[in-house]
Amino acid sequence: MADNRQPLKKQKMQEFKIADQTYTSRLLIGTAGYPNFHIMTESIAASGAEIATVSMRRVKFTDASGENLFSLLRERDMTILPNTAGCFTAKDAILTANLAREALGTVLIKLEVIGDDQTLFPDVEQLLSAAETLVKDGFTVLPYCNDDPITCKKLEDIGCAAVMPLGAPIGSGMGIRNPYNIQIIRDLVEVPLIVDAGVGTASDAAIAMELGCDGVLLNTAVAKAHRPVLMAEAMRKAVEAGRAAFLAGRIPRKLYATASSPQTGMID
């Protein structure tokens, strides 16, 4: 019989796989919106992240000093995850994914197909269409999607390597607005579940992990923080703590108090 008092091995707590690649950090980080490349690279280092996502349509690949974003990431042995941010149709997303594969030599793609400029919510119909085409074309597809269990299940059935539902609208910092849907998605899908968008601070990341998510992808919460490097460190610790809490198993919620000290043997 296993001794549940024994601490979990660090490898079991941290390691997770996307397709055939194994990672030790469960925090994925974006590269947009930082004051400069220096703060970006320092933040990435503080986060402990091994995967960095890059917009193929919107990001500036060089800064004022002439440094190249992709070179900086490769120097740090980061896995570059190109994304299709800014695409509003399946056709545009597929084209952008193919350009990323040709330019970067990777089949990894974070698939985004946005419905409108104001909410930045995914267009589910276009997303499913693009995902199906890209999976057939040999891509490892990580789709940004609504926190809808049925959509997530359809994306898994198509062959996506993970599902990445939003916690709240992109850049809103509102945290996990519908934890119940996240829990249902966790029950429905077997591929990695990564919360993408809406994280504002460390407690949001911890909550996502406590719900059973395999990872958290964030950008604005670090890039736009008053002290990005310090926030990146906080996010790293939050993801680790949330994962440990999920594996440890929280106590049930109760309306009334339950004494933590034993009642037997008390002095009269």
Catalytic pick from 60, 110, 224, 254? Answer: 110
Structure token pair of residue 132: 């199906």
Length of the chain as a residue count: 268
What SS3 state is found at 194? strand
Distance CA 196, CA 208 (A): 10
- Closest Cα partner for 222 from 27, 25, 30, 26? 30
Is 110 a known active-site residue?
yes
Catalytic residues: 110
